[in-house]
Structure 1
Amino acid sequence: MAETITAVSEVPENSSYLFSVEDAFTNEREAIIVPCEDDPGVEAWINDCPHEPQKLDRGSGAAMRDGEIICPKHGSMFDACEGGCGNGPAAGMSLLSVDVEVADSDVVLVDNDYEFLKTGGLDDDDSGPSSTSPLSF
C-alpha cells in the first residue's frame, strides 16, 4: 500500500528530507528524500554511506552540491538521481534506494520492502518535552 511521506514542496532544494522506515525483518532504518533533476523530481535513499556506517543526514539535512549528496565523514559524493559514487573512499559504490513516486504533489512510498514509520529520524523524540518535576497536572 502506498503511503504519503510528505509534500514535494517540503523537500529542501539543496538538502534532504529525513524519514524513518521499517524493512520486512522489522529493522528500523532512516531514509532521505533528495531533489533530483530527473522525473519525478525526487529520489529516496537509505540514510547511510555504503563505505562505512555514517549517516548522510545527521538530522539537519544532508550536504549537497551540484546534484550530489556529500558524505560528511570522507567527502564521497553520490549522484542524487542515480545513487552512484565516482570519488573518494566510496568510489564504485551506490546508495541503497527506496522507491518513491510523486502523486498529487506528494512524495509517496511505493517500495514493497519498506513500511513508512514516521517523518524525522529514529532518534527524534516526538513525544514533547520531558519533565523532572514531581508535580502532575
Structure 2
Amino acid sequence: MSGYRLTAVETVLEEGSWAFTAREGDADREVVLVPCADESDGWGDEVDSGGGQPVRAWINRCTHEAQRLHREGVGAVTRGGSVVCPKHGSAFDACEGSCDNGEAAGTTLRSIDIEVRDGAVFLTDDDLTYLYEGLPDDDGDADGPASSSHLTF
C-alpha cells in the first residue's frame, strides 16, 4: 500500500470538505475531498452505499464555468448528499460526481484516486503529486462568485 497521507477522515466529515493542491505534469490542480454517505445515513457514517469509502476526491471546479466548489475559509456548500456550485447552483452527487440539474446538468466532476485506510485519506492517483494543503489564492475569487442561482444558503 502506498500513497501520500492527506488528512483524517474525521477532519473531512467534521469540516464538510477539505482541499489540497497537487501537481499534474506542468500544471497545479486543486482537489477537494467531500464526505460520501447514503443520505439516510447522514454525512458522518464510515460506510456509504457506493463502495465503502466515506470520502471522495474531485477536481475542485464546477464543470460549467470552472468555478471553485471549495473556497478557503468557506469550504464546499453541501446539501442532501450533493456538492453545490456556489455560482449557478448545480448540484453534484458527492459520491458519484454526476450532475442532473442546472447549468452543469449531464456532466460529471473529474475524480481523483484516493484510499481510506485506518481512518486516514491517502492520495493514490499516479498522475498527481501532492504539493500542499489548501488552495492557491491567485485566481481573484476571494470574495466568492456573483451567484445567479435561485438557491439560497
**TM value normalised by structure 1:** 0.85
Change (3 A) 1:75 1:14: farther
Q: Is the CA contact 1:14–1:64 (under 8 Å) kept in the aligned structure 2?
A: no
Q: Measure how far apart 1:26 and its partner are.
A: 2.1
Counterpart position of 2:18: 17
SS at match of 2:71: coil
Matched, 1:55 2:68: yes
Greater Rg by CA: 1
Counterpart position of 1:29: 29
The amino acid across from 2:57 in the alignment is A
What does 1:45-124 correspond to in 2, within 5 Å?
45-59=58-72, 60-123=74-137
Q: Measure how far apart 1:14 and its partner are.
A: 6.8
What is the distance in 1 between the residues matched to 2:106 and 2:130? 29
Q: After the TM superposition, which of the residue ranges 29-38 and 12-21 deviates more from structure 2?
A: 12-21
Q: Is the CA contact 1:13–1:35 (under 8 Å) kept in the aligned structure 2?
A: no
What is the distance in 2 between the residues matched to 1:92 and 1:42? 23
Q: Measure how far apart 1:29 and its partner are.
A: 1.2
SS at match of 2:86: coil
The alignment-based identity, stated in percent, is 49
Give the aligned CA root-mean-square deviation in angstroms. 1.4
User: Where in structure 1 are there 5+ consecutive unaligned residues?
Assistant: 125-137
- Per-residue CA distance 1:10-37 (angstroms, 9 max, x = gap): 10447210111111x2210111000001
Q: Is the CA contact 1:69–1:78 (under 8 Å) kept in the aligned structure 2?
A: yes
Q: Provide the aligned length of Structure 1 versus Structure 2.
A: 123
What is the distance in 1 between the residues matched to 2:78 and 2:116? 21
- Per-residue CA distance 1:66-114 (angstroms, 9 max, x = gap): 1100000000000000000000010000101011110111100011111
